[in-house]
Structure 1
Amino acid sequence: MTPPLQVALMQLAAVWVAGVAMVVALVQAGALGGVALVYGFPVVAALYGAAGLLAWWRRPANRLGPLLVVGGAAFLGVSVANTDVPALIAVGTVTATVPLAVVIHLLHTFPGGRLRGRASKVSVLAVYVVALVGQVPIWAFSPASPPYDVVLISPRPDLAEVGAHVQQTCGAVVVVVTVWLLVRRLREYDSAQRRVLAPVLAYGVLAVLAIPLGGTVLRPLGLGDASLYIQFAAVAGVPIVFAAVVLRGGFARTGELSAFVTSVASSSGSRDELEQAVATTLGDPSATLLHWSAAHSGYLDPAGTLVALPGPEQDRAAVHIAVGDRPVGAVVYDPRLNEDAGSVAAVGRVAAIALDRERLAREVSDSRRALREASSRLLETADRERRRIARDLHDGLQVSLVRLAMQAHQLAQEPLGAASPALAARMAADVDEAAAALRGLVNGVMPAPLVERGLAAAVQELAYSLPVRIRLDVDGVSGRLPAPVESTGYFVVAEALTNVLKHADARSVAVCLRTEDGALWIDVVDDGRGGAVEDGSGSGLPGLRDRLDVLGGTLSVTNGHTGTRLRAMLPCG
Structure 2
Amino acid sequence: MPAGPPAGPTASRRRWSADPAAALVAGLFLVLLVVGAVLAADAPGLAVADWLPLLGMTALYAVTGLVAWRRRPHNRIGVLMLVAALSVWVSVLGALPDRALSMIGLVCSTLPLALTLHLLMAFPSGRVQRGVDRVVVGAGYVASTVLQVPLAVVGPEPPAVWRPADAAQVLLVASWVQSVVGVSSVFLAAGLVAVRAFRADPLERRLLGPMVWYRVLLPVMIGVGALAIQVRTPLAVGLSWLQFAAVLGLPVVFLVGLLFGSFGRTGQVDELVARIGGATPSAGALSAAVAQALGDPDARVVFARTGADGFVDEAGRLVPAEPERGRHVHPVRHGGVVVGGIVHRDDALADGSEIEVVGGVVALGIEAERLAAEQRALLAELRTSESDLYASRRRLLQAEDSERRRISRDLHDGAQQHIVLLGLTARQLSRTASDPVVAASAAGIADGMTGLLTELRDFIAGIMPAPLVERGLVPAVEMLAERMPVPTTVETSGPVPPLATDAESTLYFTISEALTNVAKHASATTARVRFEPPAGDGGRLRASVRDDGKGGADPADGTGLRGLQDRVAALGGTLEVVSPDGEGTTVVVEVPCG
TM range (shorter): 0.5 to 0.7
In the TM superposition, 1:55-454 aligns within 5 A as: 55-144=68-157, 146=158, 149=159, 152=162, 154=164, 156-186=167-197, 189-195=200-206, 197=208, 199-211=210-222, 213-214=224-225, 217=228, 227-251=239-263, 257=269, 261=273, 264-265=276-277, 267=279, 288-294=300-306, 297-306=309-318, 311=324, 320-323=331-334, 326-331=337-342, 343=354, 345-356=356-367, 358-359=369-370
Shift of 1:249: 3.1
| In 2, Cα distance between equivalents of 1:11 and 1:168 | 37
AA in 1 matched with 2:256? A
Partner of residue 59, structure 2: 46
Change over 3 Å in CA distance of 1:206–1:293 after alignment to 2: same
Give CA-to-partner distance per residue, 1:97-137, whole Å, 9 cap, x none. 11111111111111122222333233323322232111112
CA contact (8 A) 2:69 2:77 kept: yes
Give the letter aligned to residue 100 of structure 1: L
* Greater Cα offset, 286-295 or 170-179: 286-295
The question of whether the paired residues in 2 share the 8 Å contact of 1:71 and 1:103 is answered with: yes
Distance 1:341 1:82 in 2: 55
Query: In 2, Cα distance between the equivalents of 1:171 and 1:72?
Result: 20
- Structure 1 residue 319 displacement after superposition: 5.9
Residues 217 and 172 (structure 1 numbering): CA distance in 2 closer, same or farther, change over 3 Å? closer
Please state how far the C-alpha of 1:237 moved relative to its aligned partner. 0.8
TM-score (norm 1): 0.53
Using a 3 Å threshold, how does the CA distance of structure 1 residues 228 and 191 change in structure 2: closer, same or farther?
same
Counterpart AA for 1:230: L
Distance 1:35 1:212, change over 3 A: farther
Superimposed CA distance per residue, residues 311-356 of structure 1 (whole angstroms, 9 cap, x where no aligned partner): 5679xx9865334774333456899999998556523321213423
Cα 1:209–1:76, aligned 2, differ >3 Å: closer, same or farther? farther
Rate the CA distance shift 1:285–1:143 in 2: closer, same or farther, 3 A. farther
Please say which of residues 39-48 and 224-233 is displaced more in the overlay: 224-233
Point out where structure 2 has 5 or more consecutive residues left out of the alignment.
Answer: 1-10, 385-594
Q: Percent identity?
A: 31
Q: Which amino acid aligns with 2:254?
A: F
Q: Secondary structure at the match of 2:302?
A: strand
- The structural deviation recorded for 1:73 is 1.4
Preserved CA contact (<8 Å) 1:210 1:231: yes
CA contact (8 A) 2:183 2:223 kept: no
> How far apart, CA to CA, are the structure 1 residues paired with 2:295 and 2:139?
32
Residues 470-523 of structure 1 deviation map (CA, whole Å, 9 limit, x = unaligned): xxxxxxxxxxxxxxxxxxxxxxxxxxxxxxxxxxxxxxxxxxxxxxxxxxxxxx
Residues 71 and 300 (structure 1), Cα distance of their counterparts in 2 relative to 1, 3 Å cut: farther
CA distance in structure 2 between the aligned counterparts of 1:303 and 1:252, rounded to whole angstroms? 32
When normalised by structure 2's length, the TM-score is 0.51
Structure 1, residues 13-53: CA drift from partner, whole Å, max 9, x if none? 24323322331232222234234312111111211112112
Contact 1:141 1:160 in 2 (8 A): yes
Could you tell me how far apart the structure 2 residues matched to 1:34 and 1:44 are? 17
SS of 1:62's partner is: coil
Structure 2 CA distance for partners of 1:313 and 1:282, relative to 1, 3 Å: closer
1:389-538 to 2 correspondences below 5 Å = none
Distance in 1 between the 2:102 and 2:350 partners?
45
**Greater RCO (CA < 8 Å, at least 6 residues apart):** 1
Deviations 1:41-71 (A, max 9, x none): 1111211112112222222222212211211
| Matches of 1:180 and 1:295, distance apart in 2 | 58
- Aligned partners of 1:30, 1:336: CA distance in 2, in Å? 57
Q: Distance in 1 between matches of 2:352 and 2:155?
A: 55
Do the aligned partners of 1:264 and 1:354 also contact (CA within 8 Å) in 2?
Answer: yes
2:128 match: secondary structure = coil
Q: Secondary structure at the match of 1:84?
A: coil
CA contact (8 A) 1:140 1:160 kept: no
Unaligned ranges ≥5, structure 1: 374-573
- Do the aligned partners of residues 344 and 110 (structure 1) sit closer, same or farther apart at CA in structure 2, a change above 3 Å counting? farther
Q: CA deviation at 1:243?
A: 0.8
Q: Distance in 1 between matches of 2:160 and 2:56?
A: 26
